[in-house]
Structure formats: C-alpha cells, structure tokens
C-alpha cells in the first residue's frame, strides 16, 4: 500500500513541477513587454527594469510554489508512514 503511495507521489511531483513551468510563458511575455517599452523609451530603463524584476519575482513565485509542493510530496508526505 505504501509502495503505491510512493509511486503516485513521484508522478504527482513531476506533474506539479511541469505545471509550474507554465510560469515561463508569463515571464516571457513580461520580458517582451519590458523590452518593447525600453526600446520606445530608453531613458526610463532604470525604473522599468526595477519593476520588471519585482514582477518577475511575483510570477516566479507560482513556479516556486509548485516546486515546494513537489518537495513536500516527495520528502514530507503525510501519507507515508516512516
């Protein structure tokens, strides 16, 4: 029984991480928009890149959540009795 839970856990971890990779699409759009804005207004590049970094961190948090869920499933699974 515990063996089955471990197998399912590994698949769940892989699924969580691969869904977290969708955040890369959002990051790509954000960087593209920032590049566009910098190309139009090079003088505001400082403010833009600062906001871009903060925004990227926000987007990346979703991927990091998925990673943490995967680690919880792998290493701190409440259904696997040690």
Residues in 7-46 at the binding interface with another protein, rule: CB under 8 A: none
How far is residue 18's CA from residue 31's CA, in Å, rounded to a whole number? 21
Q: Is 63 helix (H, G, I), strand (E, B) or coil?
A: helix
How far is residue 15's CA from residue 18's CA, in Å, rounded to a whole number? 5
By CB under 8 A, residue 75 contacts another protein: yes
Residue from 14, 25, 31, 71 touching another protein (CB under 8 A): that is 71
Give the ranges where 1-82 is alpha helix by DSSP (H). Answer: 2-20, 23-40, 45-75
Residue from 72, 73, 78, 81 touching another protein (CB under 8 A): that is 72
Interface residues with another protein (CB under 8 A) are 47, 50-51, 53-55, 57-58, 60-61, 64-65, 67-68, 71-72, 75-76
């Amino acid at each position: 029984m515990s063996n089955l839970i471990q197998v399912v856990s590994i698949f769940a971890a892989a699924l969580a991480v691969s869904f977290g990779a969708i955040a890369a699409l959002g990051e790509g759009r954000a960087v593209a928009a920032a590049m566009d804005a910098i190309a139009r207004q090079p003088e505001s590049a400082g403010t833009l890149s600062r906001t871009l970094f903060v925004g990227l961190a926000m987007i990346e948090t979703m991927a990091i959540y998925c990673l943490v869920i995967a680690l919880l499933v792998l290493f701190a699974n409440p259904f696997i009795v040690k």
